[in-house]
């Protein structure tokens, strides 16, 4: 009988020890996963300018910002006071300024916010678009917003809600509540 109690006690002790060991292993794994999933900047830049060139060696786009934080977990970037210049072959460039921006990990999308200003000056004709936020796809030269916007140009002003901008085609599509003033040319 004593032998039987001893065997049961040893087995119970082994089960408790094994259970504690497995529990510790699960906690370590959970902590490692949590550490990998944390959104922590792995490097930053301050007051920088970077220019991307096309296949012919001509400027394709230029990005300047007061600060950039790059995150290791998803390779995304946060920008403070970004200023992006998009060059279109043989045409005036598009200048885009914002208070802040978020660049997707693959670089295909930039979400701009905090007051966005898009300008273009071609042949002395100034175009200015102001909105609260803008989703930009720089490679496609495409931008969109669902927010209210104001478009100022040499012949007047247009207010609207929502926009799709096809910069390569020089085409702006205003989506809703479009109202404007147009100055007659003399």
pLDDT tens for 29-85 read 665 665 556 778 788 889 999 998 888 888 889 999 999 999 888 889 999 999 999
User: Are 126 and 178 within one domain?
Assistant: yes
Which burial class, exposed, middle or buried, applies to 97 when counting CB atoms under 10 A from its CB (0-12, 13-18, 19+)? Answer: middle
Provide the 10 A C-beta neighbour count for residue 53. Answer: 12
Q: Residue 134 belongs to what domain range?
A: 41-182
Q: Is it the case that residue 184 has pLDDT exceeding 90?
A: no
* Domain count for the chain: 2
User: Are 98 and 131 within one domain?
Assistant: yes
User: Are 66 and 152 within one domain?
Assistant: yes
Any idea what the CATH number is for the domain that residue 121 is in?
2.60.450.10
User: Are 98 and 164 within one domain?
Assistant: yes
Long-range contacts of 146-149 (CB under 8 A, 24+ apart): 146/175, 148/177
What confidence tier does 133 reach under pLDDT thresholds 50, 70, 90? very high
User: Are 125 and 76 within one domain?
Assistant: yes
* Lookup: tokens for 59: 């400027």
User: Are 170 and 113 within one domain?
Assistant: yes
User: Are 84 and 15 within one domain?
Assistant: no
């Amino acid at each position: 009988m004593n032998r039987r109690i001893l065997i049961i006690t040893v087995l119970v002790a082994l089960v408790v020890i094994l259970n504690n060991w497995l529990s510790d292993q699960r906690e370590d794994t959970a902590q490692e996963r949590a550490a990998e999933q944390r959104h922590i900047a792995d490097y930053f830049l301050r007051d920088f300018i970077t220019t991307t060139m096309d296949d012919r060696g001509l400027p394709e786009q230029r990005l300047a910002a007061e600060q950039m934080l790059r995150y290791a977990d998803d390779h995304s970037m946060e920008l403070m006071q970004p200023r992006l210049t998009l060059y279109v072959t043989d045409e005036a460039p598009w200048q885009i300024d914002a208070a802040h921006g978020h660049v997707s990990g693959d670089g295909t999308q930039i979400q701009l916010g905090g007051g966005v200003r898009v300008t273009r000056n071609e042949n002395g004709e100034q175009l200015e678009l102001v909105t609260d936020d803008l989703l930009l796809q720089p490679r496609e030269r495409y931008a969109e917003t669902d927010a209210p916007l104001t478009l100022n140009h040499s012949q007047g002003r247009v207010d609207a809600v929502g926009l799709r901008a096809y910069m390569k085609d020089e085409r702006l599509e205003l989506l809703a509540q479009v109202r404007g003033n147009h100055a007659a040319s003399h």
